[in-house]
Amino acid sequence: MSKREYQPLTVPRLSWDKQTITENYGQITAQPLEPGFGVTLGNALRRVLLGGVEGAAVTSVIINGVNNEFAVVSGVVEDAMQLCLNIKQIVVKSKDGKPGTMRLKATGEKTVYVSDIEADSNLELINGQHVLAHISAGGQLDIEFFVELGRGYCPAQWPEGKVLQEDSRIYLDAMFSPITQVTFDVEKARVGKEIDYDKLILSLHTDGSENPLDALNYAVSVLRTQLEYFLLCTEIPFNEISKQPVVETIEQPKQANDLLLKGIPVDLLLKPIDELELSVRAHNCLMNANIKRILDLVNLSEDDGLKIKNFGRKSLNEVKDSMKAFGLSFGMDIKEADLEQAMQERGMSSSKDE
């Protein structure tokens, strides 16, 4: 019996926006994806990022002189309820994935910040400028914090049958997830002449206790682990039979006579801009500015593009996306003589020879 053959899948290329990535924000683009996979993967990743990424949070506190969250704290402007709300906004990171404790002791008239807390060596406080309380003259504040690890949201874990705890501990509900917001957009991507592929743009914000790259890696690991248990038979080796589409990139020439063209039809640059299938508005603006070939377009800088009459930022972004599908970009500074030479070396006829 012959082995069954399967159709390969389109494997996406991933890229982070290096210009905007920080410890709190990141945007990743995956393209091309099979038609419909943009929403499928985007929604799955969003749900896991928001609810499945592990983090640390303060789950209970012992405030000296207070045995419940409705009491007044002597010498402190805030009552216990407001103090607990401020404590729940502490952003803490566990370096080794283990729980720990923190301690705050403050006296005299002052504003108390998160940075005034002394934490165990395995804990790191992120939002040090967050205000916890305001102490009046002659007042003092003594708090012990208990930090635990978890996922998503967890309500306060009060022991059953006890209203007041023997150690005066107050339990807090906790948001463990370091992810504060996740959004995704799905656009059309082009592979060769096919234009119905998907491009997924995923943006995620964190509270600073986890960077976007590690958070996404964690979420993908969780999702992949869960999906593996749905494999009831031998896994189909799509990774072996599939491959990424040719990365259509063109490198900047190091010298005028050293043009490196990779993964792209060399003669494409000499073709008219009609090959990019631009909107009528963008096409006409470029033609009126005597930008008739793709080579003329890639040698144009973005600033020069914006100077073209009626060619605004929206048209510029449209053209950039169309060019990106072919591995092209603005400001490539490719000389036509070098391009002609590269074509001759490859035994190709130029537009002049036709």
Q: Parse the chain into domains and list their residue ranges.
A: 13-53+179-228+236-241, 55-151+166-175, 249-345
pLDDT of residue 288: 87
Distance CA 109, CA 75 (A): 9
pLDDT of residue 352: 46
Considering the segment(s) 13-53+179-228+236-241 as one domain, its CATH architecture is 2-Layer Sandwich (3.30)
Residue type, 249: T
pLDDT of residue 279: 84
pLDDT of residue 50: 93
Find out whether the peptide bond into 32 is cis, omega within 30 degrees of 0: yes
CA within 13 Å, CB half, 142: 6
What superfamily does domain 249-345 belong to in CATH? 5' to 3' exonuclease, C-terminal subdomain (1.10.150.20)
Q: Please report, in tens digits, the pLDDT of each residue of the chain (354 residues total).
A: 457 788 888 888 888 888 888 889 999 999 889 999 999 999 999 999 999 999 999 999 999 999 888 999 989 999 999 999 999 999 999 999 999 999 999 999 999 999 999 999 999 999 999 999 999 998 999 999 999 999 999 999 988 877 788 888 999 999 999 999 999 999 988 877 778 889 999 999 999 999 999 999 999 999 999 998 898 888 877 777 776 554 333 333 333 233 334 445 566 777 888 888 888 888 888 888 888 888 888 888 887 888 888 888 888 888 888 877 777 778 777 777 766 666 665 555 544 444
Instruction: Please enumerate in sequence order all residues whose Cβ is within 8 A of that of 40, keeping only pairs 6 or more positions apart, or say none.
Output: none
pTM reported for the whole predicted model: 0.64
Instruction: Look at domain 55-151+166-175 and name its CATH class.
Output: mainly beta
Burial of 216 (0-12, 13-18, 19+ CB in 10 A): buried
Name the helix (H) or strand (E) containing 202.
Answer: strand 194-206
Q: Which residues of 111-131 are buried (b: 16+ CB within 10 A; e: fewer)?
A: ebbbebbebeeebebbeeeee
pLDDT of residue 220: 93
